[in-house]
Structure 1
């Protein structure tokens, strides 16, 4: 039997990877300094040489999971924000715990700030106040977070449609407007994320047009 090799050296990247693996599998509540240290084969005190506590650990995990913002290749402010929103949704769907990790007062990392910077760059030159530009990206991010959270909870559009249909079969006479909407939706419904994204940007485009 060969000798066991030395433990791999700890690094912030390795610590974040271990935390992400735990959170992806079991949720953010399962993440602790002790758990992540154990996954790496170290004691909890070893991690404190790199990070002050769990808040900083989660911030590090979030930075690594969300990663650097994409290079927006679409032309024009609207197409650029559409691409930005879809990419952000992809990151949240890949790591659903990141939604919880972005709630409340917390440390912000350079990657997360860079996502904001990239989106704001597409609003440059439009007749919008600084607060309105910030509100725009907050609204887009919030829309993506909501849909990602829905996907993470396994209450997708198909499951919700089935649940509503079952109720309507029993009590359809009580909900005539819902019956009518569901009947039309069956003829070709769009995805909630794309529909909501388009309506947000329609509103912004109308505002920009009025001020221009």
Structure 2
């Protein structure tokens, strides 16, 4: 998620009615158009999504879609909001567990549509669904002695960690395991040059600790936050 915006994609997601304002009864809906665009992105990548391709998928013309979406940035905004969906409910009381669920769910949603990572990390105005992620995350941290900016920074750290690992997972559910396999021959011949790296890859396999970066990162971010919280509470 990104809290910078240029405002160009604000209209479609935040207007009170998603129907065209003039003309005959609308034949399409934003949800239907977004679903067509998302299916193209899922199949062929974000670069394959054009207004022309979406129109062809729906059996209409590109110009017909402009009644619903003024431009491509609006289409991107709708796609991202639908891909993220609403934030999961977080049980009150345990802020660390709540933020863990929050981050894991974001990872899972983005992994289902990896192209959403690029859209989320571009400057944009959050849509209604994405805004629920801010609301839920901030609610989970409401009891902590953190400044508002720090609470937003905490969400940025968690979401950035999750989304970066989605990029790593594209094309493989076990990227670290795969990398270990690809580098085995290199280490067999150059172990003396890279002794620590070779040992780390081998030992991670023995320990069963490969491809655990999501939970490791979340735990370390939250442990650091807990230490800061404890420090501030003890100073009161």
Q: Could you say which residue in structure 2 is the equivalent of 1:167? A: 186
Q: Give the conservation status (yes or no) of the 8 Å contact 1:143–1:193.
A: yes
1:167-204: CA deviation from partner (whole Å, max 9, x where unpaired): 11110011121233223212223311111111111111
Task: Say whether 1:37 aligns with 2:58.
Answer: no
Deviation at 1:160, TM superposition (A): 1.2
Q: Could you say which residue in structure 1 is the equivalent of 2:222? A: 201
Task: Say whether 1:85 aligns with 2:103.
Answer: yes
TM-score of the superposed pair, with normalisation by structure 2:
0.83
CA distance in 1, matches of 2:223, 2:213: 15
2:46 to 28, 34, 40: 28
Q: Could you say which residue in structure 1 is the equivalent of 2:169? A: 151
Q: Could you say which residue in structure 2 is the equivalent of 1:100? A: 118
1:119-176: CA deviation from partner (whole Å, max 9, x where unpaired): 1111102111111101000000000001101001547111111123221111001112
CA distance in 2, matches of 1:24, 1:182: 32
Q: Indicate the structure whose relative CO is greater, using CA pairs within 8 Å and at least 6 residues apart.
A: 2
Structure 2, gaps ≥5 residues long: 1-25
1:53 to 71, 84, 106: 71
Q: Give the conservation status (yes or no) of the 8 Å contact 1:66–1:92.
A: yes
Structure 1, gaps ≥5 residues long: 1-7
**Number of equivalent positions:** 205
SS at 1:108's partner residue?
A: coil
RMSD over aligned Cα, in angstroms? 1.6
Task: Say whether 1:179 aligns with 2:198.
Answer: yes
CA distance in 1, matches of 2:144, 2:56: 51
Q: Give the conservation status (yes or no) of the 8 Å contact 1:74–1:83.
A: no
TM-score of the superposed pair, with normalisation by structure 1:
0.92
Matching of residues 126-137 of structure 1 within 5 Å: 126-137=144-155
